[in-house]
Amino acid sequence: MDWRAVEQAFDPLPIFHEWLLEAEKSEPNDPNAAALATATGDGAPSVRMVLVKKVDERGFCFYTNADSRKGCELKENPRAALCFHWKSLRRQVRVEGPVVELPAEDADRYFQSRSRMSQVGAAVSQQSRPLKSRQRLEELVERFDAEHPGGISRPEYWHGYAVVPERIELWMDGDYRLHNRFLFVRKGDEWTRTRLFP
């Protein structure tokens, strides 16, 4: 898909899905990885990489420890921005909007789809808090794994969130830094499209 097709689009989400499918073929690791930016109530920003597990009518969905730094910031200031960058395709997608918590059933379903050791890791990690040593983390994992030989329930603090897109920018590399940038802004159920200077 070249920029001419994007220039005629009325909805950025089908393009995002098409680009993600292409990235799944060309990116060596985690094509669904995105930088997630959050901020405290007084506006101090922070950013980290997350895996966006689903994009549907609710938004761009990810899962995390609600007691982590990003979880606490989302409680204070429930807005966020995401940036996908696919170097192999020379494309970027920026997403901005409010964040909503996904139903517990979604978090349960996704948690149970993870590998056992990923479940154990989520259960023992006090994410973003100080950790004395790597050895201490490995001891916690080993002990929890031994004490829970059966199924592992989703920890209460492990939640799912969706960034509800209000703004989506599709960026395509251009020669001589004459990049193609298209900003889509949602108003109700419709999107408006504007071409931006690179």
The catalytic residues are: 177
| Dist CA 131 CA 102 (whole Å) | 29
Residue with token string 């799912």: 160
Q: Which residue(s) pair with 191 in the sheet? A: 186
| Dist CA 55 CA 41 (whole Å) | 27
Helices (H), the chain: 3-7, 12-26, 69-76, 104-113, 116-124, 134-147
181 near 2, Cβ under 8 Å?
no
| Dist CA 32 CA 16 (whole Å) | 11
Q: Among candidates 157, 28, 32, which has minimal Cα distance to 104?
A: 157
Instruction: Provide the 3-class DSSP secondary structure of residue 176.
Output: helix
